Amino acid sequence: MISTIGIVGAGQMGNGIAHVCAASGHPVRMLDVNQEAIDRGLRTIGGNLDRQLSKGTITAEQKAQTLARVSTGTDYALFGDCDLVIEAAPENEALKREVFRKLCPVLRPDAIIASNTSSISITRLAAMTDRPARFIGMHFMNPVPIMKLVEIIRGIATSEECFVAIRDLTRKLGKSAAVAEDFPAFIVNRILLPMINEAVYTLYEGVGNVESIDTAMKLGANHPMGPLELADFIGLDTCLAVMHVLHDGLADSKYRPCPLLVKYVEAGWLGRKAKRGFYDYSGEKPVPTR
Ligand code: NAD
């Protein structure tokens, strides 16, 4: 049974994963490269707990208990007592390899490693470790405390025992699992990103403008957000990176990234985080840019 959980990376995903693991009663060990990154992650957890408190979904006592379950550090020795370590470091294969090189020697031999990667092959990452049978993909969605899904991805060597332990943990975290095979971009991004890319083609070819495309999909397909609004939320650089993974990994021209998406990324118009993407976010309300 998985009790103590380690997290590598206290960023957007790592602190969210730490939050849900601690809130469901697990002792958590969260590591990042420096104290500043750790403090930023802890502040985000505190802020998200405050929001839950003000909505009445948790009590002040639950907030205090959740925070008390999270310990932090910059030294991998932190993970010596973990049953599971979830890797949520940046989406860079060389960097993840370095993380596993430091992580494996300090782990108990029976500990499981999970990666939160959005697009890198689980089988390839597993082969970088000393335990491919106890290595698995656990793909949380952003924002982690709110989104219900975890995609579970088995590498070619992942054992049934490891899979069952992670599936049971997912349930304990209050999430639902969708099981995916280890192919480029798994399920959610395999379907979602080509749709977003097609929305950008629809804009590029002048079939509609930003507002008409988003309105069409919100009211015509009952999507809570339009595809271009969603692209800005995800980050246009991330959208482009996933299209490259699909295009390279499946070698099918239907995955070619839209030239307009490429141009926006080249311009640094990366969406919400850059205050400009398909919408301009510098004012009070987002304004369509085309
Ligand atoms: P992020 O940049 O917000 O966080 C990454 C964190 O890792 C940062 O705090 C950084 O300081 C830290 N870090 C950098 N180098 C490190 C190292 N060598 N060792 C340990 N920590 C290091 O990134 P994120 O959005 O949280 O993404 C993390 C992972 O989650 C990626 O693999 C990404 O593909 C995946 N993911 C992201 C999303 C998303 O919507 N952002 C969704 C699902 C999965």
Q: Say yes or no: 35 and 145 in one domain.
A: yes
Q: Starting from the edge strand earliest in sequence, which strands make up the sheet with 135-140, in order?
A: 70-73, 28-31, 5-8, 84-87, 112-115, 135-140, 149-154, 176-181
Domain end: 151, 180, 209, which one? 180
Residue 254 lies in a domain: yes
Domain that holds residue 140: 5-180
Among 182, 206, 283, 277, smallest CA distance to 238 is for 277
216 C-alpha to ligand 1 centroid (Å): 33
Clarify whether 19 is annotated catalytic.
no
**17 C-beta closer than 6 A to ligand 1:** no
Q: How far is the CA of 118 from the centre of ligand 1 (A)?
A: 10
Is there a domain that residue 288 lies in? no
Same domain, residue pair 18 and 146: yes
Structural domains in the chain (count): 2
> Does residue 221 line the site of ligand 1, with CB under 6 A?
no
Annotation marks residue 205 as catalytic? no
Residue with tokens 């309105």: 215
Q: What is the pLDDT of residues 56-114, one digit of tens each?
A: 999 999 999 999 999 999 999 999 999 999 999 998 899 999 999 999 999 999 999 99
Residue 44 is part of a domain; what is its CATH number?
A: 3.40.50.720
Active site residue 151: yes
| List of long-range contacts for 249-253, beta carbons under 8 Å, 24+ apart | 249/183, 249/184, 249/185, 250/183, 250/184
Identify whether 185 is part of a domain.
Answer: no
The answer to whether the CB of 9 is under 6 A from ligand 1 is yes
257 within some domain: yes
Query: What pLDDT was estimated at residue 264?
Result: 98
Q: Are 192 and 246 in contact (CB under 8 A)?
A: no
- Is 189 one of the catalytic residues? yes
CA distance 194 to 190: 7
C-alpha–C-alpha distance, residues 231 and 55, integer Å:
28
Residue 91, pLDDT score:
86
9 within domain boundaries: yes
- My answer on whether 169 and 207 are in the same domain is no
201 falls within a domain: yes
* Ligand 1 centroid, distance to 204 Cα (angstroms): 31
144 and 214, same domain (yes or no):
no
Cα–Cα dist 184/165, whole Å: 24
Nearest of 15, 88, 10 to residue 47 by alpha carbon: 15
Q: Is 107 among the domain residues?
A: yes
CB-count burial class (<10 Å; 0-12, 13-18, 19+) for 122 = buried
Same domain, 29 and 151: yes
Question: Are 105 and 136 members of one domain?
Answer: yes
CATH of the domain at 276: 1.10.1040.10
**What are the C-alpha distances in Å from 61 to residues 16, 50, 64, 66, 157?**
19, 12, 5, 9, 42
Q: 195 and 63 share a domain?
A: no
Same domain, 42 and 155: yes
Choosing from 148, 180, 212, the residue where a domain stops is: 180
Nearest-atom number in ligand 1 for the CA of 10 is 9
Summarize pLDDT for 203-247 with one digit per residue, the tens: 999 999 999 999 999 999 999 999 999 999 999 998 999 999 999
Q: Do 132 and 72 reside in the same domain of the chain?
A: yes
- Collapse the DSSP code of 72 into the 3-class scheme (helix H, G, I; strand E, B; otherwise coil) and give the result: strand
Same domain for 17 and 64, yes or no, is: yes
Using a 6 Å cutoff on CB, does residue 73 contact ligand 1? no
**What is the mean predicted confidence (pLDDT) over 253-260?**
98
Please tell me whether residues 249 and 125 are part of one structural domain. Answer: no
Which long-range CB contacts under 8 A does 277-285 form with residues at least 24 apart?
A: 277/228, 277/231, 277/232, 277/236, 278/203, 278/210, 278/228, 278/229, 278/231, 278/232, 279/210, 279/228, 279/229, 279/232, 281/232
For the chain, what percent of residues have pLDDT higher than 90? 97
Q: Whose CA is nearest to atom 36 of ligand 1?
A: 118
Domain-embedded: residue 290: no
Query: Which of 15, 119, 121, 139 is labelled catalytic?
Result: 139
Average pLDDT, rounded, for the chain: 97
Q: Which of 158, 180, 202 is the last residue of a domain?
A: 180
pLDDT value of residue 119: 87
- Shared domain check, 28 and 163: yes
**Ligand 1 near 189 CB (within 6 A):** no
The closest-lying atom of ligand 1 relative to the alpha carbon of residue 234 is 40
pLDDT in tens, 102-145: 999 999 999 999 999 998 999 999 999 999 999 999 999 999 99
